[in-house]
Homo-oligomer: A and B are copies of this chain.
Amino acid sequence: MTNEHLYSTDMSEKRPLRVVLAGFGTVGQSVVRLLRSHHSEVELVAICNRNVARKQSLPDAPEIIWTESIDDLLAQRPDVFIELIGRRSPAESWITRALNAGISVVTANKQVIAECGPSLLSLAATMGCQLRFEAAVAGGVPVIRGIESGLVADHLTGVSGILNGTCNYILTRMEAAGIPFDDALREAQRLGFAEADPGDDIDGLDARAKIAILAMVALGAAVTPASIVCRSISPVAAVDFPYARHLDCTIRQVAWVTADDSGGVSARVGPALVPMSSALARAQGSENLVIVTGRSGGDTTFGGRGAGGGPSAVAVVSDVLAIARGANAAVRPGPLTAITASPDFSAPFYVRFTINDRPGIIAAIASAFARHDVNIDAVLQEPGYPADRRPFVVSVEASPVAAVERALAEMTTFDFHVIAPFAMPVLVSAAIRSSASPGQ
């Protein structure tokens, strides 16, 4: 059973929307299947892809034009151009060309939307067409739609989430199996959850683009992605999970953005401790999860499959159908003035030291923290590690990140470190707040 029939009477007198597609990879192929199951409303006219001779694989649809040229594609005078080629170039210029020709665009391209979303939305509005990008964030999870229509009456103050399935797969495997980071990464690569070159995922650049898009949609802030601090999950070690459990937490790659009262935002991407009872702790494997916080509605969560052909194709084709059914633009043009995200926030921190043990180490660390007004909450040390490579954890009370980092920078001169100290914020949600104290 489908909800398709709900629309059949409305749609019978309309001509189908003419759609062209660039990019016939995993998502593109799923998009084509879904588009063809909605043939009363949309007509797939042409597909652009490299190596058309090899890719062309729809023997039952001889009417579809195959081309390697964007000129050919846009010459079909489509109503909607679906862009699924990824990366900024040439996607950005193709999208711009389509919008300039009055052709609506549906894209899954997070880089292009994160970098140029406000100006492209403005161009679409000027040309009387639409730019939609539900699939650019959290795959099939309809969080952009949720923010822009379901929560539009609220005054939203922040968004946080698990936006990168590769990192979540690695961290939840480390947690469940007690294995080192490298082993979990290799397993993720073998199973197709991580790329051969996983840098953009584990270093946070992928999640950074997505949180920049959510900042635009939820907070109306055109945040420059490069201004958002990213911390890699690669220093997370197996030993961090049992220590985190002592604090009733686990570890996730979290991206977040919060609005302050003066029109600015704080944002960050990186590994963090999250309470076991929190929604973020519950995201397993490659699942994505987004928490949208509003003054009236509190926290609303959206979860599901953040990647894969099927879920992303649902997002893309739902965007196309919204245009077919005459919906207005989902996201309207926002401010074109890009702003810089503040790196400042206050939170409790978890700091893991790995040391060659000798007397006086705790005293040295405690003194360094004290010099920066950082209060130690607890010292955790599990037995069973060799004295010359002993990991232990210091948890500190809510402090400005800058103070914690200055204290740690000072401690690098100490001679007892075997591995550099590794700090992660503890994201008790009330504790994430911007901390633009004087002089910072």
Q: List residues of A whose CB falls within 8 A of some B CB.
A: 1-7, 10, 30, 34, 37-38, 134, 140-142, 145-157, 217-221, 259, 263, 265, 277, 279, 282, 284, 294-305, 310-311, 313-318, 320-322, 325-328, 331-335
Q: Assess whether B313 is in contact with A296, with CB atoms less than 8 Å apart.
A: yes
Are B150 and A318 in contact, with the CB atoms below 8 A?
yes
How near does chain B come to A213, taking the closest CB pair, in angstroms? 13
Contact between B294 and A299, CB atoms less than 8 A apart: no
Give A401 to B143 CA distance when docked, in angstroms. 37
Alpha-carbon distance between A7 and B333 when the two chains are bound, in angstroms? 8
Contact partner of A152 (CB less than 8 A), chosen from B294, B298, B321, is: B321
Checking B153, B277, B334 against A6 with a beta-carbon cut-off of 8 angstroms, the contacting residue is B334
Nearest CB on B from A211, distance (A):
15
- Complex contact A325–B322 (CB within 8 A): no
Q: Please tell me if the beta carbons of B142 and A150 are within 8 angstroms of each other in the complex.
A: yes
Given contacts A153-B321, A296-B34, A304-B298, contact A6 B333 (CB under 8 A): yes
Contact in complex: A151, B155 (CB < 8 Å): no
In the assembly, what is the distance between CA of A317 and CA of B154, in Å? 9
Asked if B300 and A304 sit within 8 Å, CB to CB, the answer is yes
Chain B positions within 8 Å of A217 at CB level: 3
Determine whether the beta carbon of B140 is less than 8 Å from that of A300: yes
* Chain B proximity of A310: nearest CB distance (Å): 4
Task: List the 9 shortest-distance A-B pairs measured between CB atoms, nearest first.
Answer: A142-B150, A153-B317, A300-B304, A296-B310, A1-B259, A301-B303, A145-B150, A297-B314, A140-B297
How far is A145 from B340 in the complex, measured between Cα atoms in Å?
32
Q: How far is the CB of A7 from chain B (nearest CB, A)?
A: 6
A142-B146, A301-B304 as given contacts; A154 in contact with B328, CB under 8 Å: no
Q: Which residues from B are CB-within-8-Å of A332?
A: 6-7, 10
User: Which of B146, B263, B326 interacts with A146 by CB under 8 Å?
Assistant: B146
Q: Indicate if the CB atoms of A300 and B141 lie closer than 8 Å.
A: yes
Q: Are the CB atoms of B279 and A314 closer together than 8 Å?
A: no
CB within 8 Å for A300 and B2 given contacts A149-B327, A150-B134, A322-B149: no
Q: How far is the CB of A404 from chain B (nearest CB, A)?
A: 27
Minimum distance in angstroms from A42 CB to a CB of chain B: 10
Rounded to whole Å, the gap between the CB of A319 and the closest CB of chain B is 8
Question: A311 → chain B, closest Cβ, in Å?
Answer: 5
Contact B2 A155 (CB under 8 A): yes
**Which chain B residues border A296 with CB–CB below 8 Å?**
30, 34, 140, 310-311, 313-314
* Complex CA–CA separation, A293 to B2 (angstroms): 12
Query: A328 and B325: CB pair below 8 A?
Result: yes
**Are A298's CB and B140's CB within 8 A?**
yes
Contact B298 A1 (CB under 8 A): no
A320 proximity list for chain B (CB < 8 A): 153
With contacts A145-B149, A149-B149, A327-B149 known, is A154 near B314, CB below 8 A?
A: yes
B153 near A146 with CB under 8 A, answer no
Residues of B contacting A259 with CB < 8 Å? 1
Chain B residues within 8 Å of A277, by CB: 284
Residues of B within 8 A of A305 (CB): 297-300
Bound-state Cα–Cα, A370 to B265, Å: 64
Known: A2-B220, A3-B218, A10-B332. A153 touches B297 (CB 8 A): no
Could you give 25 example pairs across A and B, Cβ below 8 Å? Answer: A1-B156, A1-B221, A2-B156, A3-B148, A5-B335, A6-B334, A34-B154, A140-B300, A141-B300, A145-B146, A146-B146, A149-B318, A149-B322, A151-B314, A152-B322, A153-B314, A154-B314, A154-B318, A279-B303, A300-B305, A301-B301, A302-B303, A303-B303, A326-B328, A327-B328
